[in-house]
Amino acid sequence: MSDVTGGMVIKETQNQRHGLEVADVFRLYGPAYRRDHPLPLSHLKVMRAIETCRTDKLGGHVDTCDQCGFERFSYNSCRNRHCPKCQTMAKTVWLEKRKAELLPVGYFHNVFTLPHELNPLTLCNKKIIFDILFQSVSGTLQGFAADPRHGLQGKLGFTAILHTWDQRLRDHIHLHCLIPGGAISEDGRRWVSARDNFLFPTKAISMVFRGKFIDALQQAYTEDKLIFPGKTAEFASEQGFALLLEQLWKKEWVVYSVKPFAGPEKVLDYLGRYTHRVAIANHRITSINDGMVTFRYRDRAHDNQVKEMTLAAEEFIRRFLLHVLPDGYMRIRHFGFLANRHKKEYLALCRKQLNCQSESSEPEHMDAHTILLHLTGLDLDRCPHCKQGTMHFSRELPKPVPLFHSSGKQLSLPGIDSS
């Protein structure tokens, strides 16, 4: 079986083809999945973006060598934040901006995880419950930072990154928080350093986090902000919802904390692993064959070894789409003295107190070519054929037909059932 997409033939029997991708799964099995499963517009957009990314369907341009006349065709990226191919450059640009915000202190990494009992409700109420998660984590951390019993009595600054998956693409909703080891004093004039190897007691944090989250969830229910379709209907009644909250109170909520990083470079390296991840990276897919998808995962629940899992393509697509975020939802947020409103002033104060060199909070803009040259030494402007000439833009490739009307109405396209 094969599928012709974007001028390329993908054959299921090509197990060993270098560079298998999520896009290949969508091209081969996406049409059947869309036919058999009613999907929201946001999911259709993500699938189509990934399928067409860097193909002639998105248009592009041609560069020509000024010495030998060699032509290079470049197709446009989809730039969808769920696309595995489009995150490397976005991550690099984001990390360049974060460099100017790093302080010469230890950085702590805390992870706040929601109990899996909340997964069905969260799937139907993503924006509301994700917002409650961010608010509860921020309130918990800032509450401990202000408490004199923990030695800071000030305002933290931290970056929180939402992830919704585990290595097997199942629901696993958690926030990664990267926290500089210290706080701005209550009067806003001093830097107060944290302990070298300890920020806050994780057991106490988990209990407060649980309380804040459940209280906010109860309020959302009282204000009729939650919906209860399908399997979640059992939670719609006051009695059913009370039973869910009782379950949540009985569980020990997981807050994970690691020792602080040694130096700003380690912080950036760690941030780069988490900020622009998608549910699964292309390099983890090892086989697409006979309606099955095999991929590598790390079994953290048992022996932490890398293993392989095989899923039916339909199930692979279902799991991937579980992690599509609501349109426009911000999954990376900055809090406290790193929040955008007062970040520049607070960082200047921190550097003054820490006797470190002041840096601009707005790094010089670099385009994609400059960033690639900086990271890899690869000069995209050098002709790959003669190695002497310089590549220059020569012409645009045809623009694609819009996939969706500006009104949001779905157009009839191959692979998307318009019925």
Considering the domain architecture, whether residues 253 and 171 belong to the same structural domain is answered as yes
Distances (CA, A) of 211 to 147, 245, 328: 17, 11, 28
Residue 370 lies in a domain: no
404 assigned to some structural domain: no
Which amino acid would we find at residue 366? M
Same domain as 139, residue 74: no
- Same domain assignment for residues 238 and 120: yes
Q: Which residues contact 88 (CB under 8 A, 6 or more apart)?
A: 276
In a domain, 259, yes or no: yes
Is 116 in the same domain as 196? yes
In this structure, are 235 and 123 located in the same domain?
yes
Give the number of domains in the chain. Answer: 2
pLDDT of residue 368: 62
Examine the domain organization and report whether 342 and 387 are in the same domain.
Answer: no
pLDDT in the model for residue 93: 73
C-alpha to C-alpha distance for 90 and 21, rounded to whole angstroms? 19
Answer yes or no: is 393 within a domain: yes
Residues 183 and 65 in one domain: no
| Amino acid 374: pLDDT | 63
In a domain? residue 322: no
Quote the domain boundaries for residue 12: 2-81+382-397
Dihedral (Cα; 148, 153, 155, 157), 10-degree rounding: -80
Q: How many angstroms separate the Cα of 41 from the Cα of each of 25, 178, 305, 327, 397?
A: 19, 33, 38, 10, 28
Rounded CA-CA distance 419/417 in Å is 6
Can you list the residues of the chain whose pLDDT is less than 70?
Answer: 1-18, 260, 262-265, 357-377, 399-419
DSSP, residue by residue, 242-288: HHHHHHHHHSPPPEEEEEEESSHHHHHHHHHHHTT--SS-GGGEEEE
**Do residues 180 and 257 both lie within one domain?**
yes
Is there a domain that residue 142 lies in?
yes
Residue 389 counted as domain residue: yes
Distance CA(112)–CA(377), nearest Å, equals 38
Per-residue model confidence as pLDDT tens digits over 245-286: 999 999 999 999 877 676 666 777 777 777 778 899 999 999
Contact predicate 45/403, CB 8 Å: yes
Beta bridge partners of 295: 285, 309
pLDDT of residue 369: 66
Rounded Cα distance, 373 and 260, in Å: 32
Q: Is residue 122 part of a domain?
A: yes
Identify whether residues 132 and 233 lie together within a single domain.
Answer: yes
Q: Sign of dihedral through CA atoms 236, 41, 329, 83? A: positive
Residues 162 and 262 in one domain: yes
Give the pLDDT of residue 16.
Answer: 38
- Give the CATH number, domain containing residue 109: 3.30.70
Residues paired with residue 258 on neighbouring β-strands, in sequence order: 109
Same-domain check for residues 11 and 106? no
Same-domain check for residues 128 and 241: yes
